Each structure stands twice: as C-alpha cells, then as structure tokens.
Amino acid sequence: AQSVTQLDSQVPVFEEAPVELRCNYSSSVSVYLFWYVQYPNQGLQLLLKYLSGSTLVKGINGFEAEFNKSQTSFHLRKPSVHISDTAEYFCAVSTSDTGRRALTFGSGTRLQVQP
Amino acid sequence: GAVVSQHPSRVICKSGTSVKIECRSLDFQATTMFWYRQFPKQSLMLMATSNEGSKATYEQGVEKDKFLINHASLTLSTLTVTSAHPEDSSFYICSAVGVQGPKKLFFGSGTQLSVL
C-alpha cells in the first residue's frame, strides 16, 4: 500500500513571497504523483502531475514541483504567491498506470497568503 | 478539455430520506469512477471504486447497503445515500478515469450533503 504525508497543515506566507509545500510518499512500486488545489466549497483542480520523464514538472498558475525518487518527495513550489492562491492543496499518489486504482491523498496543506 | 459533471452541487434533506448524486463524464468514456468523502478540514477518503457494468468495490468500513453505487454506462455513475442521517452530512466528490489512465483522470465539483 502507498501513503502520502503532507507535514505542514498550514502555511502562512506574505503576498509575492516564495512558497514550498512539502509532500513525501511511501510506496513499494512505481508511483504517479499529483498536486490538486481546492477552493472553499469546490471540487479539486489539478495543478500538475508527474507520470514519467523530466522530474521537474510545471503546472498551472505558476506552480511547479520536482519529483525526487531518492527522497521520495514531490514538493510544490511557487516563486511568488498571490492572494488568490489561498486554498487547500492536496498531494496525491497513484500506483496504477491504467488509472484503475484510486488516488491516495495526503491530509492537505492550507496555504494562507497575507497582504 | 474533458469535464466531469457532478450534480447536485448542494442538497439539504431530512433525516431518513434518500439522496442520489450523479457523476457524468461529458466528453470521454470513464472506464472507472471513484467516490470520495471529505469531512470539513480533512482530506478525501475513498469510499468505493466502480467499473462500468460490474459491482462497486467498497473500502473497509463503508456500508454498501447505505451507499449504493451504480455505474450503468461509460459516462454515468450514481451514488445514492439511503436513509440519510446527520452523520452522513459531508462533501462527496467523484472522479472518472478514461482508458488512458492517469493521463485522463478528472474530478467532479463535489456535492455538499446536509442532513437535518
């Protein structure tokens, strides 16, 4: 079985500052990694995903993440955040390349961008 | 791009009634659909996995007789919460995946269920 750990439940940051949201995973097999954003009372929006290839993945809204196999990490970064980035962020992992296995989610990180 | 439509977005019902939530893949065939439940300020917990034309596979601790899942076609899955109680109040989210696997995996916008 796989698991996902998001160590930071909340990350306060000032507007235009850089931010890193940490994600570590555990799995005995190859994984596919995802970051989702959830705004209040809404569903999930995919920020980016790593399936194969380059370990540096660029997503929407200026976010990027780097897959580090040796450290089993997939940290999310943004060089300069905006107030509108305030939301809940979920890291998720899948071990199936057919998609027939559900994603396993981390506990989430609340990003709070302050003016 | 591909969209998964989930309906209704919000429902309030009386205790003891049943509520049906629909999840549709609008422009692709979803070979598998997943149903998740999310309590306030918590993560998503998988409830069940459904493959078109076969019975859903429920996660441990999820009552299959209470949460009825039907995946009758490649574009539609439904979750029916039977005899709902206040403790069933939660945010329910579906996701659908196409034959391309994780390259084609999308989430619905969620349904907020409030049982009075």
Report for A25-39, A72-86, B24-38: range of highest mean pLDDT: A72-86
Selected residues 47-86 of chain B with any CB under 8 Å from a CB in chain A: 49, 51
- B30 band by pLDDT with thresholds 50, 70 and 90: confident
Please give the residue that has the higher pLDDT: either A40 or A98.
Answer: A40
SS (H, E, C) chain A: CCEEECCCCEEEEECCCCEEECCEEECCCCCEEEEEEECCCCCEEEEEEECCCCCEEECHHHCEEEEECCCCEEEEEECCCCHHHCEEEEEEEECCCCCCCCCEECCCEEEEEEC
Percent residues over pLDDT 90 in chain B: 66
A99: confidence class by pLDDT, cuts 50, 70, 90: low
Interface subset of A 86-105, CB within 8 angstroms of B: 90, 94, 96-105
Q: Cβ contacts (< 8 Å) between B36 and chain A: which residues?
A: 102
| Residue B8 vs residues A39, A100, A109, B75, B93: alpha-carbon distances, Å | 18, 25, 27, 16, 11
Flag if A100 and B102 touch (Cβ within 8 Å). no
* Angstrom distance (rounded) from CA A99 to CA A81: 32
B112/A32 Cβ within 8 A: no
By CB neighbour count within 10 A (0-12 exposed, 13-18 middle, 19+ buried), where does A32 fall? buried
Residue of chain B nearest A93, judged by CA positions: B102
pLDDT at B41: 79
Question: What would the mean pLDDT of B80-92 be, rounded to a whole number?
Answer: 95
**Which of A5, A25, A41, A60 best probes binding to B when mutated, by most B CB atoms within 10 angstroms?**
A41
**B27 vs A22, more confident:** A22
Nearest CA-CA distance, residue B102 and chain A, Å: 5
Could you read off the pLDDT of A15-67 as tens digits, one per residue?
A: 999 999 999 999 888 889 999 999 887 888 999 999 888 999 999 999 999 99
Is the pLDDT score of B1 beyond 90? no
Does the pLDDT of residue A102 top 90, yes or no?
Answer: no
Q: Tell me if chain A has a CB within 8 Å of the CB of B46.
A: yes
pLDDT at B54 over 60: yes
pLDDT (0 to 100) of residue B102: 63
At residue A84, φ and ψ (nearest 5 deg) are -70, -10
**CB pairs A-B closer than 8 Å:** 66
B102: exposed, middle or buried (Cβ count in 10 Å: 0-12, 13-18, 19+): buried
| pLDDT recorded at residue B69 | 94
